[in-house]
Structure 1
Amino acid sequence: MKSEVSPPVWSRAWSPTQWASNGEVRLAYDRLPPDDGEPLLLVTGLGVARHWWPTGLAQALAAQGFTLARYDQRDAGESTHLPPTASTGPITALLRRRGDTYTAEDMTDDAIAVLDALGWDSAHLFGQSLGGAVAQRIALRHPRRIRTLTSVSAVPGDNAGLATLRHIRLRTLAQLARMGRSRTLEGHIEVGVALARLLHSPAHPFDEPAIRAMLADTPDPGVRDARSQSRQIGAQWNGPAIGRITAPTLVLHGLDDPLVKPSAGRTVAARIPGARFVPLPGVGHDLPEPVWEDVAHHVRQLADG
């Protein structure tokens, strides 16, 4: 008799999937107990599912007194994927002056729909990569709903086209563009491992078994649909400049980020009034386990300040 296999510990830590709605877009989210801390929303990066967030990082934040929720942005994970468009890839979409399907404002409103579904009047934001840029825009468009902002490995949220490209390492971007896609479970696991390896922190071990386990347990890990990624990255921001952000802001950036140059983080911090820039030596375009406690401590300091 075949024995049942329990889901990974990191997967069992989160609540069952719940749903929020922004118009016709359904947004999948879950939360990490306990529920008696200060609300903190994790904003996910380009194309990937919410499961890419390290549960250990979330637990380190919870230990600092936060209640966490994470969600799949539109066109990612279990959330609504929009109909196919003409965009051929993220690089082309980045350089275009118009989005194919929706705006960056629509993406900020998705986050607010999740806060509403959670019953949170306001929350701390923690966004990484594209999620960091989206978090900046949320703080601009919905300032009364945001307690603090933590932007990680992100470009300025009001940049577009060539202004964004100046902060991107083109060699890595080209590697990402050449990365294969697959329609099989085994294939998307291999592509996901290759993506994680490309972006990982060079000064820290690469935990391939953990990455494989996460990918195998994720409904849509976000490594198969270049057109969805194109719609996300091509969504145009028409709002104010990030210099008008009023939320207390922390900017974290790995000094060895292979995709987004540290100049991006320094620029974000320089342009947001009162923002604090914290460089992360040896860290790439991820947040490896050795920095989880320090990151959580910095977010706690920001909230207390």
Structure 2
Amino acid sequence: MPRVKAGIVELEYEEFGDPHAPALILVMGLGAQLIDWPEQFCRRLADRGFRVIRYDNRDSGLSTALDDLPVPDLGSVLAGLASPPYTLSDLAGDTVGLLDELGIQRAHVVGASMGGMIVQMLAIEHPERLLSVTSIMSTTGNPAVGQASPEAITALTTPPPTERGEAIEYMVRLLRLIGSAEVPDAELRARATAGIDRARHPAGVARQMAAIVGAPERTEALGDVRTPTVVVHGEVDPLVDVSGGRATAEAIPGAELVTVPVMAHDLPPSAWDTIIDAVARTAARA
């Protein structure tokens, strides 16, 4: 896959669809990789008339791992006693750098989980670069909403094993815990194996988590967003409660809220039509 230089990092990316169509950038979440946007999902978006671009965030996948930066103490960051190695604004800046290097002046952006937070920051800080925003299974940073279940918090904060087979089993258990019931175990194992074999950056996950917990609440700033926006959230999400999605839609003037009854913290195939329709509908508003 190709790479571009975006500021201090290089970003791995992949494209689908007509290169002359309006660009649609897919931004993944905490510790996730571009392959976590399913290929068929990307192709179906491309079939709706988009130049679809998925990429690895810094410290994820095959993009730059910033291992010269310290592994943060998340408790200290959460308490405001330490600063994260980088911020959600920095991650949003990486997306702008990707647009710059690809010669894209304005784009539709779709973000999932932490990626939703990143596209919210893009809408706050770089509205002139956006055509539309889709925030999926994300939240505003308000600690009163979007909280994870105790089981999800425990699983997410448990250090993963280093041995390949054990790491795959750990990831299968995590995906089953936070994901939709409809996804078969064989698919979870295939996803876990592909991700583990492609790249592993536990320290990078910790740095990304620090960016999340160290970020200020975005509710007030989201009130100034005027970019056409849709918020999509699963009603049975154990990692980011649906209240986070509702709060995001309430904060952004004119935002549409779409909740999916069977969707947890993933992109189950049964939800693809709903999500893709929402993206296309919001893009048409632009």
Q: Please report the TM-score for the alignment, with normalisation by the length of structure 2.
A: 0.88
Q: Summarize deviations over 1:42-70 as a string: whole Å, max 9, x none.
A: 11101222221111211121111111111
Aligned to 2:171: 192
Correspondence for 1:146 among 127, 130, 136? 130
Gaps of 5+ in 1: 1-15
Preserved CA contact (<8 Å) 1:128 1:153: yes
The amino acid that maps onto 1:174 is: T
Q: Summarize deviations over 1:11-57 as a string: whole Å, max 9, x none.
A: xxxxx2322221x2222222123323220001110122222111121
Aligned to 1:137: 121
Q: Distance in 2 between matches of 1:66 and 1:188?
A: 36
Q: Is it true that 1:227 corresponds to 2:206 in the alignment?
A: yes
The amino acid that maps onto 1:202 is: A
Correspondence for 2:28 among 44, 47, 54? 44
Q: Distance in 2 between matches of 1:95 and 1:190?
A: 33
Q: Percent identity?
A: 31
- Alpha carbons of 1:256 and 1:155: their partners in 2 closer, same or farther (altered >3 Å)? same
Preserved CA contact (<8 Å) 2:145 2:243: no
Q: Is it true that 1:264 corresponds to 2:244 in the alignment?
A: yes
Aligned to 2:194: 214
SS in 2 for 1:241: helix
- Alpha carbons of 1:244 and 1:97: their partners in 2 closer, same or farther (altered >3 Å)? farther
Aligned to 1:244: 224
Q: Distance in 1 between matches of 2:154 and 2:163?
A: 24
Aligned to 1:288: 268
Q: Is it true that 1:21 corresponds to 2:1 in the alignment?
A: no
SS in 2 for 1:34: coil
User: How far is the alpha carbon of 1:184 from its aligned partner?
Assistant: 3.4
User: How far is the alpha carbon of 1:76 from its aligned partner?
Assistant: 1.7
Aligned to 1:183: 162
Q: Distance in 1 between matches of 2:53 and 2:113?
A: 18
User: How far is the alpha carbon of 1:98 from its aligned partner?
Assistant: 5.0
SS in 2 for 1:186: helix
Preserved CA contact (<8 Å) 1:103 1:237: no
Q: Please report the TM-score for the alignment, with normalisation by the length of structure 1.
A: 0.83
Q: Distance in 1 between matches of 2:115 and 2:230?
A: 14
